[in-house]
Structures are given as structure tokens and as C-alpha cells.
Amino acid sequence: MKRKYFLAQHGLTLIELVIGITLILCLLSSTVNLFSGSLKVWTFGKQQSQLNQTARIAMDSIVKDIRYAQQITLKNTSSLVVTKVNGEIRTFQLGEGLHSKTLYVLIDKTKAIPPGGISSSPITENLVTDLQFVQRENSKAVLVTLEVTNTSTGERTLLWTACYPFNLQ
């Protein structure tokens, strides 16, 4: 008689259901933790990549203007004035006050051909923590140092290059 009872059973017991659900929840929670960790790593990598890209764009902009400058003047170690062949004057410097971490280029086209006004445009937004220009007395080369900081992680990236102007008088 007992043998017929086991053969006729068609469902799961409550204990089997609880054990199965517990195992599924353990697997799902480990999968969610793995996905969450991967998402954090991806987000950090994306932020770091954007920070490096912004720093390189800023550095390339500065270097391009130095290379084709007719005259270079250092106002101080963190401000550089570049006069282009057409008479346009560009000043690279950090902002002031709330914008002290923003790299600006001030463009003066009053002596340029065709003449224009003075404009200011940011190259980076609130990322640059240090900007330095150095030019040795005996050399025409300009050493540019640019440091950017990730605001969310505090990680710093330092870029530097030496640039030699082609048209310097």
C-alpha cells in the first residue's frame, strides 16, 4: 500500500519549494552583486577616459597655438599669451573665483585680419587643478604642464609636453 502512495504523488512538498526558492535567491543575489561591481568598474573607467580625453584636447589646443605662434609672452607661470601670424592674440589661463578650475582661452581679434572683438571660451569645465608654462631664457621651447582632477574620485592626471614654435621671431 505504501508503494502506491509514492507512485501516485504528483507535486512538490512545502520543504522542497522553500529549498528551491532559497537556492534561486542565493544565485540571483550573487549575480546582482557581480553585475553591480562590474557597473562600478565600467563607470569609473568611463569617467577616467572622459577626463583623459578632455585633458588631451586642452593640451592639443594649447600646443597647436604655440606651434604656429609668431610671438609668445608669459604673463606669469599660469598664463600664456600667444600672438598668431594674422595678429590674433590668444591668452590661455585659468578662470577666477568659482571658475578657478576652468581653462579659458581669451581671443582678441582687434588687430587680426579681418578685425573683430574680444571673446572668451572655456576649453575645459571645472577640471584643471594646475596649469603651468615655463620658457627657458636660452630656448624657444615652451614647457606646458596640465593637471586635471576627477571630481567624484579625486584621482589626478598630469600631462606635460615641450613645444617648439615654428614661426617665432
How many distinct structural domains can be found in the chain? 1
pLDDT above 80 for 48: yes
Q: How does residue 133 score in pLDDT terms, banded at 50, 70 and 90?
A: very high
Q: Is residue 121 part of a domain?
A: yes
Q: How does residue 2 score in pLDDT terms, banded at 50, 70 and 90?
A: low
Q: Is residue 29 part of a domain?
A: no
Q: Is residue 49 part of a domain?
A: yes
Q: Is residue 134 part of a domain?
A: yes
Residue 92's identity, in one-letter code, is F
Residue range of the domain that includes 97: 39-163
What integer is the mean pLDDT of 97-111?
86
**Contact by Cβ (8 Å): 124, 148:** yes
Instruction: Provide long-range contacts, Cβ within 8 A and 24+ apart, for 152-155.
Output: 152/47, 153/44, 153/47, 155/48, 155/51
The alpha helices in 8-158, defined as continuous H runs, are 14-67
pLDDT for 147 equals 92
Average pLDDT, the chain: 87
pTM: 0.75
pLDDT above 70 for 68: yes
* 5 membership: H or E segment, kind and range: helix 2-7
pLDDT for 9 equals 66
pLDDT for 136 equals 81
